[in-house]
Each structure stands twice: as structure tokens, then as C-alpha cells.
Amino acid sequence: MAELKITLKSSIIGRPQNQRDTVKALGLKKVNSTVVKPANEAVKGMVATIAHLVDVEEV
């Protein structure tokens, strides 16, 4: 199964609570932190919620 490399590129300061919670749930802590997650529907939905804050690459 494919995986997604997700990198937080923008700060969550001043963002709505649901976006903050999504970033935390993905395991991203600071700007430029990166996580690798499986490319399933749940993760893709979370990424869609914060697409303007992250860069996503398929690994």
C-alpha cells in the first residue's frame, strides 16, 4: 500500500480548532515537521481538511 509523506508548512496559530486538532491527530508538532502515514481514506480526508497548511508527497 502507498504511503503519504506529510510536512507541515504553515503555522496553526489563529486557525480554527478543527484544523488544530487535525494537525495534532496526524502527529505534526512544529512547522517543517514530517510524518509518513498510510494512504487510506481517513488520512486523505484529514489531509484535505488542512491542505492549505501542508505539503503531501506519495512515497
Asked if residue 14 lies in contact with residue 53, where contact means CB atoms within 8 angstroms, the answer is no
Query: Domain with 40 in it: what CATH number?
Result: 3.30.1390.20
pLDDT for residue 53? 97
Asked if residue 58 lies in contact with residue 3, where contact means CB atoms within 8 angstroms, the answer is yes
Asked if residue 4 lies in contact with residue 59, where contact means CB atoms within 8 angstroms, the answer is yes
Run of H or E residues at 32: none
Q: Which domain holds residue 20?
A: 3-58
pLDDT digits (tens, 9 = 90+) for 14-46: 999 999 999 999 999 999 999 999 999 999 999
pLDDT for residue 1? 75
Residue 52 three-state SS:
coil
- Number of structural domains in the chain: 1
